[in-house]
Amino acid sequence: MARWHRALTPGLGALALVTTLVETQQIRQTNKYSLHGDVELGQAAASEVRLRLPLVSDQVLAAYVGDVGQRLVGAIPDGHQQPLFAYSFEIIDAGDLDAIALPGGPIFVTRGMLDVAETEHDLAALLAHQLSHIVLRDATAQATSGNRFQIGNVTGLGIAAAAVGVSEGIVARAAGFGTTSYFLAYGGEEERRADLLALQMLTDAGYAPRNLSNMFRIIEQETLRSGPLWLSRHPDPGGNDEDFSRHDVIAIEAAILSDDEPPARADRLPSMRARLRLLDATREPAAWSRGRERVAPRAGIGVEVPSGSSVPVRAGDRLQFVAPANWRPQLVDNTVILAPDGASAEVNGRPIVTHGVQVGVARSLTGDLQRDVQALLTALARWTADVQWTPAYQQTTIAGRRGLTTTASSISPATRQFEHVSVSAARLPDGGFLYVIGLAPQDEAGTYRQAFERVLRSLQILE
């Protein structure tokens, strides 16, 4: 695998860069998805994103972002061309700093990114990085790497729900967390390769490669103001020398790759920003949360208490446990949900559950169990003040492995009553992240605690 060689001198840096670029060209990650599979997943997810999020529909702005993106598509190196992919570039009408790269070609970037980019070169750098993840097929390769403990198949709807973050209820957000970990968030190696490929594309498309460094610097600075959403999905690859930041290293390598100024080109970004302001003056700014809806109470009324008898449940091919006999299983992305009759409803194709247990598998985002639990709780609380959590953990054992348990509270979108949330997690043998969420109304938590513990105590990893 390609390593992040810190460029401490021009000579060593040049050698490291050339070596890594060659390695990047040769990497072909194991991927169970066909190229058609990437396209189908990405197109289905893109349709949902368009349905759930407000897009900037102005033809001039759309043509501008599309033109920048297609210049980069034309600069994809021969060894990475994917003729089946359908690349598209669209603007989400939101001030958040975010960008979504979907398998097979669709890319969405928020207008917030256009606001903070200093020049068109910066915007091109952001799009080049996103495009690199698609070209390298990082999302479906990561999903393949987690196949050993896979519970269910992730759909385009699941990817879109995770991307837009508008799912109602704890279990839908928890399912989205697992989907995000494979399809929308990347590891250090993936980030490193995407940085390098982006530098190549920027150079060949006539943009300044050093602006990839500048855009990362801008996003890091703006993150202090607007939240770490994009950076949490695109973490610093890390390296061997703490004196160099990610954007420092990119700047050095960009200088080695191309010392020349790119061909002069009019910077169209300022006029595009002015056009956005003009649109704002003529209408209400669109809200990020379009597609979210509160539901009338449809679940949680007259739910039976957990049965004293148990039935075996399989979660994929590798996980097994027992659950109350009157709980029904439902697969949602890479999770299995067990709930009694009357304890679940559906909104926008995603489940709302008032009583039950969810067992899920995700890719570790941090390499550390406690930090992964924190990332999961952050995902459960995203876009809502209804989830309250105080970081406090108890040691436990799950499937013979060291685990952690914590509790939170939330307000059910189905009943609008307080609910008790139990979160337990452990590391899987392949480094994956196993999580178990128990959910019950606050005044019924004592009744359901024994059922949650029954599931946890019985969990087995089948080798």
Q: Check whether residue 275 and residue 387 sit in a common domain.
A: no
Question: Above pLDDT 90, what percent of the chain?
Answer: 52
Q: Give the residue ranges of DSSP H helices in 35-137.
A: 35-52, 59-73, 111-116, 120-135
Q: Are 169 and 95 in contact (CB under 8 A)?
A: no
Residue type, 336: V
Q: Check whether residue 370 and residue 431 sit in a common domain.
A: yes
Token pair 């495009």 in the structure block, residue: 131
pLDDT at residue 229, as a whole number: 66
Q: How many other CB atoms are found less than 10 A from the CB of residue 366?
A: 14
Residue 4 included in any domain: no
Quote the mean pLDDT of the chain: 84
In angstroms, the CA 317 to CA 463 distance is 9
Q: Check whether residue 139 and residue 240 sit in a common domain.
A: yes
Q: Which pair of tokens denotes residue 381?
A: 């609380």
State the average pLDDT over residues 75-87. Answer: 94
Q: Check whether residue 261 and residue 335 sit in a common domain.
A: no
pTM for this prediction = 0.85
Residue 341 included in any domain: yes
Residue 294 included in any domain: no
State the average pLDDT over residues 43-61. Answer: 93
Residue 301 included in any domain: no
pLDDT at residue 286, as a whole number: 47
Q: Check whether residue 368 and residue 223 sit in a common domain.
A: no
CA pseudo-torsion sign 145, 147, 149, 152: positive
State the average pLDDT over residues 307-321. Answer: 92
Structural domain tally of the chain?
A: 2
Give the CA count within 13 Å in the CB-facing half-sphere of 110. Answer: 20
Instruction: Report the run of H or E that residue 442 belongs to, with start and end.
Output: none
Q: Which pair of tokens denotes residue 414?
A: 């189905």
Helix 170-183 to helix 369-381 angle, to the nearest 10 degrees? 120
In angstroms, the CA 449 to CA 267 distance is 61
Q: Check whether residue 189 and residue 226 sit in a common domain.
A: yes
Q: How far is CA 169 from CA 47, 354, 409, in A?
A: 22, 9, 12
The angle formed by the CA atoms of residues 406, 409 and 412, to the nearest 5 degrees, is 135
Q: Check whether residue 270 and residue 360 sit in a common domain.
A: no
Residue 33 included in any domain: yes
Residue 86 included in any domain: yes
Q: Check whether residue 264 and residue 323 sit in a common domain.
A: no
Q: Which range, 336-345, 383-392, 425-434, has the best average confidence (pLDDT)?
A: 425-434
Q: Check whether residue 233 and residue 345 sit in a common domain.
A: no
Query: pLDDT (tens digit, 9 = 90+) per residue, 196-245?
Result: 999 999 999 999 998 998 998 898 888 765 555 666 777 777 654 455 56
Quickly state the pLDDT bin for 195 (edges 50, 70, 90): very high
Residue whose C-alpha is closest to residue 427's, from 457, 390, 392, 397: 397
Residue 155 included in any domain: yes
**Domain holding 430: CATH number?**
3.40.1000.10
Domain limits for position 398? 310-461
Q: Check whether residue 56 and residue 94 sit in a common domain.
A: yes
Q: Check whether residue 153 and residue 262 sit in a common domain.
A: yes
Residue 142 included in any domain: yes
> Which of 95-104, 376-385, 424-433 has the least mean pLDDT?
376-385
